[in-house]
Structure formats: structure tokens, C-alpha cells
Amino acid sequence: MRDVEIGLGLQSNLSFAEYARLATAAEAHGIDVLSVFADLLFQPPLPALLEMARVTDRVRLGAACWNPYSMHPYEIAGQLAALDAASDGRAYLGLARGTWLGDIGLTQPRPLAHLREAVEFIYRLLAGDGAGFRGEVFELTPGVALRYETQRADPPLLIGAWGPRAVAMAGSLAHEIKIGGTANPAMLPVMRARLRPGERAAGREPGEVRIVVGAVTVVDLDGAAARRRARREVAMYLGVVGDLDPTVDVPHELLAEIKARVAAGDHDGAGSLIPDELLDLFAFSGTPDQVAAQAQRLIDAGAARVEFGTPQGLDTQRGIELIGNRVLPALDRSAGRG
């Protein structure tokens, strides 16, 4: 059985020098995958990914995730091809419907069709055979092909999704499904059940699609300080994913107040409302031993990759060092069933 992977999810708000430094450290500490978020109003992820490809030799790299509303699949295919070439075949394709796009006036109609057809469009274009594609949303004229060589025609696909229909679709198409914004092991059997109809329809083996779990992470020897910082960092994401987890009953009034304080720019105030038991379901936080225990529960529940998200620590470099030196050695990574 393949060992469970450990990844880092980085926000796209750093300098090139910082990405080079962090990627070098991450690879040296045994991290398997480096992802860069494509969150609204942050820098596009590709420049950071290209810089990390330049200074690494082993880690897999990808955006988590591009979306087919703010970027056409043609552009996604080109950026993916550039990353795959720069990393000598270490890129993955990360796609999701996207979040907060209404803030820039983008609507998101028919998300399943957009995602499904974006996948087909991108891989048809990378294949270079000029077969074309006509969907309900996107169209690729027969005979149209890229005018440059690509590293691979089929970099592995990761779809970020929570909902039953989108996850079932991922079960038929994807190599991996990412549940973003959770550290809740109870979500693993839920997602496995949601994947099964798609896997079955595509003639795939049950459990063939790997489940990736990622969330805000703050690890430090000062566990109390780490958890205070995690509350602030997770508040913005809790407003998005708090309603998506069917295993957790987040009081409506609490979620509404958290969202209101985040909207007002009061992230500390929003975070102060999050109780310990809720924090542990939506973030990795505390001492290395606490974070390792959280990650182990996810591995035991069947996660194929645990992704420690930004900011990793009170200081990101120190957080990566603690993950590499203290968290990873404490994990039994052969326990996953994903």
C-alpha cells in the first residue's frame, strides 16, 4: 500500500524569494506535495509554482485550485503545461468551482457542467490530436491544437469539492478529490460514499480516487499561541465550509456572527468566537504533538494525503521546520486506506 503523502498549501501572497526558500526547506524536510492557493484577490498561483519548480527536484506541484469561471480552460491548459515543463513532469491539475467570485461580479451557473467540460477541454488540448470538443459550455474547434510541445498529455487531476454531485463526478474523472478547509476525520467515510457512484459508473475500483484533506495549520511549541493564531486564520474559511460538513452542526447564529465579523474586517473577533471543539474540526493547530494527533486521525480514517495549509506556523519557515522535524516523524503513514 502506498504511504500517505504529506503536503503543504501555501497562499499566493509571498515574494519569489520566500517561495524559493520555503520550497527548498519543504523538500529537504520530506514534504511530498506543494500546492499554491488560487484564492480571489491574491496573486495568481503560477509564478509562485514556477519559482518552486526551479528550486526543487522531487515534490509534486499544483494550483489548488484553478476555476473555469475566472480563467478559461484554454488558459488553464497553458499554465498547467508551463508548470509541467518547468518541473519536468511533476505538475498536477487542480480544478474547483471557485469561491467569492461574486465579489468581482462573476456568477457561477452550472458548476458541474463547467467543471466536467473544463476537464475534457484541457486534456483534449494537451493531447494535441486536434480532435476538438463541443460541450454545452465550452467548445474546441476540430483541428485546433497547441503550437508547442507539452511535457505530458495527462497530468493527474485533483478536483476540489464537497457536494454529493460534484464529488460523484470526481469519482468518475479525478485522480484525487480534495476536501478543503477541514480537519474532520468524520468526513472521510462521507466522501468515500459520495465518490462511489462515480467510480462505479466509470468502471473504476471502489476507493480508486484518493482523498486529500487540507486545512489552515498553525504549529508551534507555544501551543496556546498557535491556537489563537489558527482561530483568526480559519474564521474566513469557516464562513464558507461551515455549512458544508453534514457531520457537524455549527449553530446558525454563530456562523452568521463569524461571517459578519470577517466581513467587517474583525478577524480576531471572529476567531474568538470559535470554540475549541469546532477549531479542531476545521484547522490543525497547537503543539507538534497536537497537530500530529489530528493528522493521524485523518490518516487512520483513510486520507491519502494530509495537506497542512497556510500559514503553517506563527512563522511559516518555523512551522515547516516543526512539521518536518516533529510532526512527520510522529506519524504512521502506512495506515491510510485512501
- Asked if residue 336 has pLDDT above 70, the reply is no
State residue 338's pLDDT score: 43
One-letter amino acid of 63: A
Mean pLDDT, to the nearest integer, of 11-40?
96
Tell me: the pLDDT tens digits for 247-258? Answer: 999 888 999 999
- Asked if residue 1 has pLDDT above 80, the reply is no
Considering only CA atoms, which of 125, 213, 211, 122 is closest in space to residue 175? 211
State residue 2's pLDDT score: 63
- Asked if residue 107 has pLDDT above 80, the reply is yes
What percentage of residues in the chain have a pLDDT greater than 90? 89
Which residues on adjacent β-strands are paired with residue 128? none
State residue 265's pLDDT score: 92
Mean pLDDT, to the nearest integer, of 83-94?
98
Tell me: the pLDDT tens digits for 181-240? Answer: 999 999 999 999 999 999 999 999 999 999 999 999 999 999 999 999 999 999 988 878
Report field, pTM of the whole predicted structure over 0.75: yes
Q: Please, which pLDDT band fits residue 337 given cuts at 50, 70 and 90?
A: very low
Q: What is the SS3 assignment for 14-80?
A: CCHHHHHHHHHHHHHCCCCEEEECCCCCCCCHHHHHHHHHHHCCCCEEEECCECCCCCCHHHHHHHH
State residue 4's pLDDT score: 96
One-letter amino acid of 118: A
Q: Which three cell numbers stand for residue 118?
A: 473544463
Where is average pLDDT lowest: 81-85, 115-119, 251-255?
A: 251-255
State residue 335's pLDDT score: 54
How far apart are the two ends of the chain, measured CA to CA in Å? 10
Tell me: the pLDDT tens digits for 274-311? Answer: 999 999 999 999 999 999 999 999 999 999 999 999 99
Q: Which three cell numbers stand for residue 140?
A: 474546441
- Asked if residue 143 has pLDDT above 50, the reply is yes
Average pLDDT, the chain: 95
State residue 99's pLDDT score: 85
Mean pLDDT, to the nearest integer, of 265-274?
93
Question: Using CB atoms within 10 A of its CB, is residue 102 exposed (0-12), middle (13-18) or buried (19+)?
Answer: exposed
Mean pLDDT, to the nearest integer, of 108-136?
94
CB 313 within 8 A of CB 219: yes
Q: Which three cell numbers stand for residue 103?
A: 465579489
State residue 238's pLDDT score: 87
Residue 31 CB partners (closer than 8 Å, separation 6+): 6, 7, 8, 59, 320, 323, 324
- Asked if residue 63 has pLDDT above 80, the reply is yes
Determine which helix (DSSP H) or strand (DSSP E) holds 219, and give its type and residue range.
strand 210-219
Distances (CA, A) of 133 to 108, 258, 297, 314: 22, 44, 43, 48
Mean pLDDT, to the nearest integer, of 127-136?
91
DSSP class of 242: T
- Asked if residue 16 has pLDDT above 60, the reply is yes
